[in-house]
Structure 1
Amino acid sequence: MNIKLKLTVLSFLQFFVWGAWLITIGVYWFGSKHWSGEDFGKVFATLGIASIIMPALTGIIADRWINAEKLYGILHICYGITLLFLPNIVTPENFFYVMLVAMLFYMPTISLSNSIAYYILKNNNYDVVKVFPPIRVWGTIGFIVAMWITNLTGNKASGNQFYIAAAIAFALGIFAFTLPKCPPQNNIPKNASLSEKLGLNAFSLFKDYKMALFFLFSMFLGAALQLTNMYGDTFLSDFGKIPAYAESFIVTRSTIIMSISQISETLFILAIPFFLHKFGIKKVMLISMFAWVLRFGFFSFGAPAGFGLVLILLSNVVYGMAFDFFNISGSLFVETTTDYKIRSSVQGLFMMMTNGFGAIMGSLLSGYLITEYFTLANGDKMWHEIWLTFSGYALVIAILFAIMFKHKHNPELIEKVTH
């Protein structure tokens, strides 16, 4: 199996083991378990807690002590073992703790997979900016396939979704050991400072105004991503409470409708090299932020029929731009602006801000606000107002970013990542 094909398989399986349950867990939580919305916010906060602790830590370990591909394989096997316990849990409190352990194993593998791909491609003289996005597309396809399998097998409200993810996680963990070796790159000099010995060099980037702002806005955009993951499928499924829509495709195949978002991702990922070279990192990230405004705004007026159906479909289409233009571009921005010796650590730091602090902020605050202010006495959620509030949040972030983040486009900076 050639290098690019191996990395393609890696990307596909990486996101399959997440997509099998991430979008449908809300249906399982509210529809099957009938647990509370506030507790649901806490469960999604596990992604954030894990992303604060683990990506930076595993990045340091991969930079210094253990081959990245071996660490990656071990983490996926442990993730698969933990998932096996979830379907048998009977209380939201215990579910929270087991999910936290699962996320401690899984979340760092996202940034590690990027570091592994970048290292292997550059070590084999590939142009990363051109070659990586088409490989990363298969991660999105893996996420889509997992969503479809969960929905079409009738498991979107079943604990079987965790068994599906676990089985593939075991396969991915074993497969990782067949990858080319990715040895530690950051040898510790004899006169190294305590910070260097502990592998904390990456945190010094917070002293740089531009990088500090970049990480700050990464956190705010990470919050937006959690909102759509948490509530998108539940929002569509809730239309089933209206008799006229109960048997509509939007309701019965809500996960497939939501997968349009990931299909959109595959198109926008391929467009990233053009947009980065043409417009630069700031404009690309700004486009992403305004796409989040549209994502939530279209949902707020969406419905399973008529023009409302068009808006739901459009919301899923713009998601690809909203997600990719910040997350993938941000990862490449980190790769082009940091020292190669700490890149695994910095990728972990980027992950910590988006899926760490951002996820916690989005999960807990949205869970609290929806429960306290946007839930009716009978338990129904005020989806129109919820999505409008989220849209307003994204608009404020976009405006602040446009004003505060100063960055001059330099095409040569993008080219640096290939060397």
Structure 2
Amino acid sequence: MKVSRFIQLSIMMFLEFFIWGGWFVTLGSFMGNNLESSGAETAMAFSTQSWGAIVAPFIIGLIADRFFNAERILAVLHLMGAVLMYQMSQASGFSEFYPYILGYMIVYMPTLALVNSISFYQMKDPAKYFPYVRVFGTLGWIVAGLIISFVFKWDAAENIANGMLSNTFMMVAIASAVLGLYSFSLPKTPPQNKGGALSLSEILGLDALKLLKDRNFLVFFMSSVLICIPLAFYYQNISPFLTELKVENSTAWASLGQVSEVFFMLLLPFFFKKYGFKKTLLFGMLAWGVRYALFAFGNSGDLFFMLILGIALHGICYDFFFVSGQIYTDSKAGEKYKNAAQGLITLATYGIGMLIGFWVAGQIVDKNALADGTHTWQDVWLFPAIFAVGVLILFGIFFKNETIKYKA
């Protein structure tokens, strides 16, 4: 791949995840402080990610795969996102804010698939080159957190109290506009199914439901949905949790999870080959239970290292389960159902699983809210810790070990 092409795609990926990391991490704190939202309302805001994931296949399947170049749709969606982000920065109440965040996630979530499609189309060997492009996305997320904490200090306690987190939406609106305009300069990526008719089952990846006849894949599928409930607790509560404990530069500390994601992504092939798929996933699920126990019993004082260790475990939690799961799904699907199977897993996890997870997290947070606006965080974090261990036990019992082919 040409160096100029690599640079183009890397900038695209950097901006794509800079945009997501620039507001999603601090959303929980923004909801509680700027909008004075309840746990249930915060859950509704985070759940828009799931609704976006559910709608995304329709946008990709009905439009991107049939009529227009992917880079042009990417441009239009991010320009629309810039406008919606600006409106979110101006909102003063939940009822005003919610329609904008819902609209934004409906236009943003399809872009995650589009940047992948654009990248894959330009690569002769995606397995070799894509990780080097994708890592710039993780770097973009990290840089966004560092800017919020160290450049503008919007997540400092006094600035949060003064409503400064609304500036994160303005920053992202500008970045979204930049990526929207930049996307018009990206390499052409024509429709992959131009003129072809797609059924509803093909768009949603439902053709891959045949894979559920395989007992192992069914156990993996159900475990993927269930483990998204603990995952939702992390995304929804890490910022309010650190903010309430008065942790300085909380957004930067939270980005440590993405740093570890890069590290453990490099270790994944080693674990996968040495221990196999089942043990790798069990490592991932065990890490979920351990990290939430660390959050439950750590503090911002002498046990602050426990919070940092819990955040750093994000790499194992995410890579060892979700990335391994994508590899397993690809190996089980075969050529005919590869795309459909990945679409089905995405719909089940980011769609259904996290939709349930955000709702559960909102209920648990409200149940443990105190009169002064604080929370009994130990009880909040123990729920997903125990839940993750339960999923681990069920997966360990019912999933029979099998050898699958994997090209590192």
TM-score by length of 1: 0.85
CA gap of 1:6–1:343, structure 2 versus 1, over 3 A, is: farther
SS in 1 for 2:65: helix
Quote the residue 1:166 is aligned against: 173
**Structure 1 residue 51, shift from structure 2 partner:** 1.1
**Structure 1 residue 81, shift from structure 2 partner:** 1.7
* Partners of 1:278 and 1:56 in 2: CA distance: 39
* Partners of 2:95 and 2:362 in 1: CA distance: 15
Residues 16-415 of structure 1 aligned to structure 2 (within 5 Å): 16-55=18-57, 57-59=59-61, 61-121=63-123, 124=124, 126=125, 128=127, 130-152=128-150, 153-156=152-155, 157=160, 158-186=165-193, 195=199, 199-200=202-203, 202-209=205-212, 210=214, 211-240=217-246, 251-306=247-302, 308-338=303-333, 346-372=341-367, 374-406=368-400, 408-411=402-405, 414-415=406-407
Deviations along 1:222-258, one digit per CA (max 9) or x if unpaired, are 3322211111121111123xxxxxxxxxx22111211
SS in 1 for 2:189: coil
* Contact 2:49/2:105 (<8 A) preserved: yes
**Structure 1 residue 46, shift from structure 2 partner:** 0.8
**Structure 1 residue 44, shift from structure 2 partner:** 0.7
* Partners of 1:337 and 1:10 in 2: CA distance: 31
* Partners of 1:329 and 1:142 in 2: CA distance: 23
CA gap of 1:342–1:171, structure 2 versus 1, over 3 A, is: farther
TM-score by length of 2: 0.87
Deviations along 1:179-210, one digit per CA (max 9) or x if unpaired, are 33333334677xx8x737x7447212122224
* Partners of 1:382 and 1:171 in 2: CA distance: 41
**What residue identity is the alignment partner of 2:205?**
A
SS in 2 for 1:313: helix
* Partners of 1:4 and 1:277 in 2: CA distance: 29
* Contact 1:227/1:363 (<8 A) preserved: yes
**How many equivalent pairs are there?**
394
**What residue identity is the alignment partner of 1:135?**
V
**What residue identity is the alignment partner of 1:401?**
F
* Partners of 2:31 and 2:312 in 1: CA distance: 26
* Partners of 2:192 and 2:219 in 1: CA distance: 27
* Partners of 2:195 and 2:311 in 1: CA distance: 47
**What residue identity is the alignment partner of 2:19?**
V
**Structure 1 residue 289, shift from structure 2 partner:** 1.3
* Contact 1:213/1:405 (<8 A) preserved: yes
Unaligned runs of 5+ in 1: 241-250
Deviations along 1:254-308, one digit per CA (max 9) or x if unpaired, are 11211211111111122233333444443333322111111211111111222x1
* Partners of 2:376 and 2:337 in 1: CA distance: 45
Residues 5-24 of structure 1 aligned to structure 2 (within 5 Å): 5-24=7-26
Unaligned runs of 5+ in 2: none
Kindly report the root-mean-square deviation, in angstroms, between the aligned alpha carbons of the 2 structures: 2.6
**Structure 1 residue 361, shift from structure 2 partner:** 0.8
CA gap of 1:22–1:201, structure 2 versus 1, over 3 A, is: closer
* Partners of 1:342 and 1:117 in 2: CA distance: 21
* Partners of 2:61 and 2:395 in 1: CA distance: 28
CA gap of 1:136–1:284, structure 2 versus 1, over 3 A, is: farther
Instruction: Give aligned-pair identity as a percent.
Output: 32
Deviations along 1:119-166, one digit per CA (max 9) or x if unpaired, are 332xx2x251x4333332221111011011122303233211011111
* Partners of 2:301 and 2:359 in 1: CA distance: 32
**What residue identity is the alignment partner of 1:137?**
V
**Structure 1 residue 100, shift from structure 2 partner:** 0.4
